[in-house]
């Protein structure tokens, strides 16, 4: 099975739809920070800017294309029965690559379960992300080797871990920053409000990066909030900003500014990346039951990848050879991911008892021994 690549598709220049079109309104639709229009035109913003070389711009494009390819491959692998579940990031590449590329190595990231693009930016091997979806582990990477914490399934919990970690960074006198990712649905959780409170009170160097992809499974944002999310920050005493989440340049610029603020010791920022989840919530979900096709079509016109491609081409920052090479690289990545997943071994049954406690536990020891004896009873019977 091959996976369709969007890298080769042409942007829809004809679309007159602009930001916000097709999305349900949440109170008055506020201005988005935007540096690149859906048509791929570079625009100015009074407060935010980035100055990137052609190579850096191509790098962002490459990141988005490869992340989308990885994601599509994982979706296909789920369809083939190789993964039990997959949470696709389709449509959210700009929000993730833009924010992810704003980070320094010593910054720390607390993701939810869909941050495959951020993981990519952190240097986490994409195949590591698949273990938990295949069902061979609950994490699969060492959080400290890439400063990228494990995925968190209980929504909102990680915003407190990020805040606590950031409090520790401040105590250490370091100038690193911490980013907590979460969704618009998660923003209704008490933990997120508590994280806002703690981070404000202790002036913690944390950036709350909410990807408002308009939906929490079947629930639209109207079921989560009555005022635009980013405005909530004000009530906690720190700035909130809404950025076009399909504009990688704006996401980069806004996250960089928020991180710089954190590093200067000025405390938290809430960034709301206004974006769209183009696929299903997960492979178990059926979005046709709750949302109209036109909505997705309207957002497809704002596709983050097509928009950067238009800009690269129009500005002469990339030639045909670049796109062809990337296509090849994309194929190679797909193949690597496919092979890695299929080769992924099931864990040893005894792993059930591993790493439950750092210092051991008598009951675990006892049950491990019982389990081993029980297992051994079968092999003895077969004379193995």
Partner 1 sequence: MAVQKLPIAKAINESLRKAMETDPKVLIMGEDVGKLGGVFRVTDGLFKDFGEDRVIDTPLAESGIVGTAIGLALRGYRPVVEIQFDGFVFPAYDQIVTQLAKMHARALGKIKLPVVVRIPYGGGIGAVEHHSESPEALFAHVAGLKVVSPSNASDAYWMMQQAIQSDDPIIFFEPKRRYWDKGEVDTDAIPGALHKARTVRDGSDLTLVAYGPMVKVCLEAAAAAQEEGKSIEVVDLRSMSPIDFDAVQASVERTRRLVVVHEAPVFYGAGAEIAARITERCFYHLEAPVLRVGGYHAPYPPARLEEEYLPGLDRVLDAVDRSLAY
Ligand X SMILES: Cc1ncc(C[n+]2csc(CCOP(=O)(O)OP(=O)(O)O)c2C)c(N)n1
Instruction: List the end-to-end C-alpha distance of the chain, in Å, as a whole number.
Output: 40
Cβ at position 108, least distance to partner 1 in Å = 8
CB 221 to ligand X: min, Å = 8
**For residues 145 and 119, is the Cβ–Cβ distance under 8 A?**
no
Closer Cβ to ligand X, 98 or 334, answer by number: 98
Give the residue with the Cβ less far from ligand X, 174 or 292.
292
User: 269: part of which helix (H) or strand (E)?
Assistant: strand 269-274
| Of 27, 43, 315, 356, the one binding partner 1 by CB under 8 A | 356
Whether 277 sits among the annotated catalytic residues: the reply is yes
Work out whether 205 is an interface residue with ligand X (CB under 6 A). no
Residue 269: closest CA among 168, 171, 178: 178
Q: Under the criterion CB under 8 A, does residue 287 sit at the interface with partner 1?
A: no
Choosing among ligand X, partner 1, none, which partner's interface includes residue 277 (Cβ < 5 to 8 Å by kind)?
A: ligand X
Instruction: Provide the minimum distance between the beta carbon of 103 and ligand X in the complex, in angstroms, as a whole number.
Output: 20
- What is the CA 322 to chain-centroid distance, rounded? 26
Nearer to partner 1, 16 or 355 (CB): 355
Q: How far is the CB of 115 from ligand X (least distance, A)?
A: 9
Q: Which strands make up the sheet holding 108-110, listed edge to edge?
A: 108-110, 178-183, 206-212, 269-274, 240-244
Applying CB under 6 A, does 103 fall inside the site for ligand X?
no
Q: Which of 57, 66, 90, 150 contacts partner 1 by CB under 8 A? A: 150
Q: Does 215 bind ligand X (CB under 6 A)?
A: yes
Binding of ligand X at residue 163 (CB under 6 A)? no
Residue 209, SS3? strand
Cβ neighbours of 321 (radius 10 Å): 8
Using the rule CB under 8 A, which residue among 4, 31, 106, 142 binds partner 1?
142
Identified catalytic residue from 58, 68, 69, 281: 281
Instruction: Report the alpha-carbon distance of residue 54 to residue 4 in Å, rounded.
Output: 27
Instruction: Extract long-range pairs of 14-21: CB within 8 Å, 24+ residues apart.
Output: 15/39, 15/301, 17/298, 17/301, 17/302, 19/244, 19/274, 19/302, 21/298, 21/301
Please indicate whether residue 17 is annotated as part of the active site. no
Which of 1, 320, 343, 358 forms a contact with partner 1 (CB under 8 A)?
358
Cα–chain-centroid distance for residue 204?
A: 22
Residues 6+ positions from 179 with CB-CB distance below 8 Å: 99, 103, 107, 108, 109, 110, 162, 206, 207, 208, 209, 255, 259
Number of helices and strands in the chain (H, E) = 13, 7
Backbone angles phi, psi at 240, to 5 degrees: -125, 145
Residue from the set 153, 201, 292, 351 that interacts with ligand X by CB under 6 A: 153
Using rule CB under 8 A, residue 106 touches partner 1: no
Least separation in angstroms between CB 51 and partner 1: 33
Which of residues 20, 59, 139, 239 is near partner 1 by CB under 8 A?
139
Q: Is 138 in the site for ligand X (CB under 6 A)?
A: no
Q: Is 362 exposed, middle or buried (0-12, 13-18, 19+ CB in 10 A)?
A: exposed
* Residue among 156, 230, 146, 237 nearest 193 (CA): 156
Could you tell which of partner 1, ligand X, none binds residue 197, using a CB distance below 5 to 8 A set by kind? partner 1
370 binds partner 1 (CB under 8 A): no
If residue 242 lies in a helix (H) or strand (E), which one and from where to where? strand 240-244
Q: Which of 90, 169, 258, 344 binds partner 1 (CB under 8 A)?
A: 169
* Residue 350 within binding range of partner 1, rule CB under 8 A: no
Selection from partner 1, ligand X, none that 77 binds (CB < 5 to 8 A by kind) is none
Which is it for the CA torsion 210, 215, 221, 223, positive or negative?
negative
Which sequence positions are flagged as catalytic? 277, 281, 290
Question: What residues make contact with ligand X under the rule CB under 6 A?
Answer: 114, 153-155, 183-186, 213, 215-217, 277, 281
Question: What residues make contact with partner 1 under the rule CB under 8 A?
Answer: 110, 137-140, 142-144, 149-150, 152, 154, 157, 159-169, 171-172, 190-191, 194-195, 197-198, 201, 354-359, 361-364
């Amino acid at each position: 099975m091959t996976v369709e690549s969007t890298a080769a598709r042409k942007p829809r220049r004809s679309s007159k739809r602009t930001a916000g079109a097709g999305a349900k309104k949440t109170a008055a639709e506020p201005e988005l920070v935007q540096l690149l229009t859906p048509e791929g035109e570079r625009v100015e913003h009074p407060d935010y800017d980035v100055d990137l070389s052609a190579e850096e711009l191509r790098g962002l494009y490459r990141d988005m294309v490869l992340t989308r390819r990885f994601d599509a491959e994982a979706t296909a692998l789920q369809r083939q029965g190789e993964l039990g579940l997959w949470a696709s990031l389709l449509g959210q590449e700009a929000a993730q690559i833009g924010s992810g590329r704003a980070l320094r190595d010593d910054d720390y990231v607390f993701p939810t379960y869909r941050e495959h693009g951020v993981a990519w930016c952190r240097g986490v091997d994409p195949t590591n992300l698949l273990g938990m979806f295949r069902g061979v582990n609950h994490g699969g990477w060492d959080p400290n080797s890439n400063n990228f914490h494990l995925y968190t399934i209980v929504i909102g919990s990680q915003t407190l871990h990020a805040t606590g970690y950031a409090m520790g960074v401040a105590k250490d006198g370091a100038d690193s920053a911490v980013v907590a990712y979460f969704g618009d649905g998660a923003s209704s959780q008490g933990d997120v409000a508590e994280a806002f409170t703690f981070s404000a009170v202790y002036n913690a160097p944390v950036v709350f990066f909410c990807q408002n992809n308009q939906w929490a499974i079947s629930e639209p944002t109207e079921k989560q909030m009555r005022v635009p999310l980013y405005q909530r920050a004000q009530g906690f005493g720190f700035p909130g900003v809404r950025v076009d989440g399909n504009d990688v340049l704006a996401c980069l610029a806004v996250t960089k500014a928020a991180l710089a603020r954190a590093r200067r010791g000025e405390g938290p920022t809430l960034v709301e990346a206004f974006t769209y989840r183009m696929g299903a919530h997960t492979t178990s979900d059926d979005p046709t039951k709750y949302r109209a096709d036109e909505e997705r079509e309207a957002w497809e016109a704002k596709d983050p990848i097509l928009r950067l491609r238009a800009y690269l081409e129009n500005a002469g920052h990339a030639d045909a050879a670049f796109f062809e090479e990337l296509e090849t690289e994309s194929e190679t990545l797909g193949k690597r991911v496919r092979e890695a997943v299929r080769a992924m071994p099931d864990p040893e049954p005894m792993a059930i008892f591993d790493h439950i406690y750092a210092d051991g536990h008598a009951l675990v020891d006892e049950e491990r021994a019982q389990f081993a004896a029980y297992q051994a009873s079968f092999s003895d019977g077969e004379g193995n």
